[in-house]
Chains A and B, each alone.
Chain A
């Protein structure tokens, strides 16, 4: 069964460093998402992406964050200058359709980011 993959599974970085989290969505999916989950807290929406541009972003997704689809398979989340509070599990998701149609988002296993 096709699945979303994410690398690295765990990244440790120092405050102020840049990190890039990588995701490979399911190949025929058109909509891509990033969510984050701080330990013990709820899953929070960051950004959605379709047709090579951001569809929507939350208030969490400030200027320190950016997303890119550099080729036909990868979808990346970059944090420009990490802060301690960026420590969280970052989930990538993809869906075949989006907008107001029925859609199921398939989640990847997550990138755990630890900022020290």
Chain B
């Protein structure tokens, strides 16, 4: 089976840096995704990691350690519009579906 854990809620202020952690236990590993979901909207793709290390994309970066079953999403120069849920998801063993964590709701205040 697969289990994905991430904090339920986080708060931060505009301009700050925040790190959202995700730990996973899977039977086989085929890749990990981070999605952003604003309330009432669809998830939108942020990043994909399959090898260890850091992937940087503008203000957002994602890190993966396969040996530790651990990933984080780093958001820099936070803006109010970054207030959203951030979903960690792993590809299932067959590679046919995404299995999502419960998501971390980030609130950014001024």
Contacts and interface: CB of A to CB of B under 8 A. Distances in A.
Interface stretch (B10-18, B57-65, B67-75, B96-104): B96-104
A106 interface: yes
Interface residues of B, number: 25
Interface stretch (A12-20, A40-48, A77-85): A40-48
Contacts of A56: 92, 94, 96-97
Interface of B is mostly: loop
Contact of A58 (B48, B50, B97): B97
Interface residues of A, number: 24
Interface of A: 33, 35, 41-45, 48, 55-56, 58, 91, 98-102, 104-110
Given A43-B100, A104-B48, 17 more contacts: A33-B97, A35-B100, A42-B100, A42-B102, A43-B43, A43-B87, A43-B103, A44-B100, A45-B97, A45-B98, A45-B100, A48-B96, A55-B96, A98-B95, A99-B96, A100-B95, A110-B42
